[in-house]
């Protein structure tokens, strides 16, 4: 039997819970990351067709393979764009990074948020010149997509406070006819 005191307590919990936060965790289907992209200028892309994807893949693979090998830059991976989309992030030419990690992805009523972290390392006086990237295959969504990164400095990361997420790119919602 629920007493009035228990009922008031439960009502208080409902009233104090965050309104409108009905986000759910998303799981990328495929994540490919690395540090040797042929795209050496920062670029963020939301791709929704094979025709959009093929030239991006070719630019990414430019000058990275020997012709005739299994990873020949002419062989673009096929993605089912009827059901999925591809988010591509290229950081451009920089130093000492192995790639970009997907920390989490959430879907709310109004937008999808993808949180990314940089996989950095330290070297001696001469660093490693790299071009980090990440390809994220996600279920197709017409909502705006927000990309966030951890804004903590390296010294802050060393001491361990929680991440400070900041938006670094936003993709507009896709039109319904697409």
> In tens digits, what is the pLDDT along the chain, a chain of 178 residues?
454 444 334 333 333 444 556 889 999 999 999 999 999 999 999 999 999 999 999 999 986 755 555 555 568 999 999 999 999 999 999 999 999 999 999 999 999 999 999 998 888 888 899 999 999 999 999 999 999 999 998 888 888 889 999 999 999 999 986 4
Q: What is the pLDDT of residue 161?
A: 86
As a whole number of angstroms, the distance between CA 149 and CA 132 comes to 14
DSSP class of residue 36 equals B
Inside any domain, residue 178? no
Look at residue 26 and tell me if it is in a domain: yes
Structural domain including 42 reads 22-171
> Per the domain annotation, does 6 fall within a domain?
no
Residue 67 inside a domain? The answer is yes
Q: How many CA atoms lie within 13 A of 34 on its CB side?
A: 8
Domain count, the chain: 1
pLDDT of residue 71: 56
Angle ∠(165,32,91) on CA atoms, nearest 5? 50
Asked, for residue 12, whether it belongs to a domain, the answer is no
Coil, helix or strand at residue 161:
coil
Task: State the pLDDT at residue 77.
Answer: 95
Structure tokens at 160: 């361990």
pLDDT for the residue 23: 85
């Amino acid at each position: 039997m629920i007493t009035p005191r228990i009922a008031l307590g439960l009502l208080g919990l409902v009233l104090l819970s965050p309104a409108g936060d009905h986000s759910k965790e998303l799981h990328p289907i495929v994540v490919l990351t690395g540090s040797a992209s042929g795209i050496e200028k920062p670029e963020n892309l939301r791709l929704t067709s094979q025709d959009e994807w093929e030239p991006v893949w070719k630019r990414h693979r430019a000058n990275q393979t020997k012709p005739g090998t299994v990873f020949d830059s002419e062989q673009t991976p096929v993605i089912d764009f009827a059901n999925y989309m591809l988010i591509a992030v290229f950081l451009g030419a920089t130093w000492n990074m192995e790639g970009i990690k997907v920390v989490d992805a959430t879907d709310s009523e109004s937008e999808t948020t993808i949180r990314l972290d940089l996989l950095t390392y330290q070297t001696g006086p001469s660093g490693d010149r790299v071009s980090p990237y990440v390809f994220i295959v996600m279920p197709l969504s017409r909502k705006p997509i927000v990309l966030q990164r951890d804004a903590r400095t390296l010294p802050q990361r060393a001491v361990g406070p929680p991440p400070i997420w900041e938006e670094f790119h936003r993709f507009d919602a896709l039109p319904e006819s697409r």
